[in-house]
Chain A
């Protein structure tokens, strides 16, 4: 088809309208954020809410500045981030690895089925105290909490996806004499790529839960520890600050995974 001048004009018109809409959305998003911060600040200063309990944006800012200066905050942030990333990676990789083993051995899958169901139904954070007793009150336990919370659900979701792959792809490969490993490599694995990526996104959120609860329990360092500590000494600015930072980091991690998704799926 030939592109006429008129087509080009319509296309440009369409592009501008898309851009305008995007701008409008961003303006609204920024507006909501600013008014939220402003209302919080005003409410706190005018004692509509108790500033001791709900703090205020300026106080939080001051606390952050102060804690950054003495270097203590950086250490807490580093530790929590490391634990979360490690928990996320271990949980996801172990989950996928387990799913692959189940796929390769139907019998293993049948044998493990009831155990997986029970482990999945079990609220994993309830295992926290036992994990700490077993692995010691340190970062190893916390990483284990971040991992254990996502590993079983990853296994179940990914294994189910493996089984849903159209068996005719396997049939095509078998007609060429493919081995089970080749069927997995050429059909099952690529076909379930989207599912695996979407479990990554879910696991980011889950690992944060595991790690923060772990830090609550171990109570040595990290943002989760700061929350508990602030709560105990009635310093709610510290609690609020930790929450704001956690929200920020979790969002950044989620966006990173989304980037990876776009890059992998194209």
Chain B
């Protein structure tokens, strides 16, 4: 049964100068516990899809359903991690990760302990009282991850969480996130520019097309790769095979969309 469903979602951005057709007729259904990667050229509407799934913007047309219930507003059932960490510089790391419970007025002693143990799980047990400025990019990203996980959302939405990190930090974080998500059996949608990351982490890959944004192709990741940790999956023979196929699909898009950009 479908866990998260988009039915014919279309979204336009209106401004005084123009109307931007960001998404057109997107229909997807995502199963419980599934890991979806969303790949596509810049500006094809990936962040828009996530914001719609999170209930932060409501689509111009179409429906979003979580467990058959329509989503109209954000809720703690959905965890959304933005393109950058957006830790609040005027709050300590502990205050930052407890922001969700504070907003929902569920802040309690148990919640605090949960926050501390999650920090420990991502290797940040010593920085609870530090401020975000004092942390490296990778540490900040992990703190932002904890902030998203603390509400125990049923579904996680990640918008290029690793794109600003150096390669090694990124690989390590991929391991960490993939491990955490497997343990807690979370449904996840990950937006990325990185084909390798998409293959190494996900179960299915949605490739998008731009102007207007549509889903042009869906790739199933072979079961052998799904069961591996991301680092090992990258070394698997089947990895390269899929990589080439996805690359080819995206390659045609980049040329088309860059030509289209000139018109």
Q: Do A and B come from one complex?
A: yes
A187 and B88 within 8 A (CB):
yes
A177 is an interface residue with CB less than 8 A from chain B: yes
Q: In the complex, what distance in Å separates the CA atom of A172 from the CA atom of B54?
A: 11
Minimum C-beta distance from B159 to chain A (A): 10
A193 is an interface residue with CB less than 8 A from chain B: yes
B88 and A190 within 8 A (CB):
yes
Give the one of A166, A174, A178 with max B CB within 10 A: A174
A173 and B103 within 8 A (CB):
yes
Q: Which of A160-203 contact B (CB under 8 A)?
A: 166, 168-169, 171-178, 182, 186-187, 190-191, 193
CB nearest neighbor in B for A178: B103
B86 and A168 within 8 A (CB):
yes
Q: Which of B70-95 contact A (CB under 8 A)?
A: 73-76, 78-80, 82, 84, 86, 88, 90-91
B76 and A177 within 8 A (CB):
yes
B242 is an interface residue with CB less than 8 A from chain A: no
CB nearest neighbor in A for B151: A176
Chain B, residues 49-87, CB within 8 Å of chain A (1/0): the string is 001001010000000000000000111101110101010
Residues of chain B with a CB closer than 8 A to A176's CB: 74, 76, 99-100, 103-104, 151
A175 and B99 within 8 A (CB):
no
Q: In the complex, what distance in Å separates the CA atom of A115 from the CA atom of B164?
A: 45
A175 and B80 within 8 A (CB):
yes
A168 and B84 within 8 A (CB):
yes
Partner of A182 from the list B51, B91, B103 (CB cut-off 8 Å) is B103
Partner of A190 from the list B90, B103, B104 (CB cut-off 8 Å) is B90
Residues of chain A with a CB closer than 8 A to B100's CB: 176
Minimum C-beta distance from A179 to chain B (A): 8
Minimum C-beta distance from A195 to chain B (A): 13
B76 and A193 within 8 A (CB):
no
Minimum C-beta distance from B43 to chain A (A): 17
Q: In the complex, what distance in Å separates the CA atom of A187 from the CA atom of B88?
A: 8
Q: List 17 A-B contacts (CB under 8 A).
A: A166-B86, A171-B86, A172-B80, A173-B103, A175-B74, A175-B78, A176-B74, A176-B76, A176-B100, A177-B73, A177-B76, A177-B103, A186-B91, A190-B90, A190-B91, A191-B90, A193-B90
Smallest CB-CB A-B distances: 4 pairs: A175-B80, A176-B103, A190-B90, A176-B100
Residues of A at the B interface (CB closer than 8 Å) are 166, 168-169, 171-178, 182, 186-187, 190-191, 193
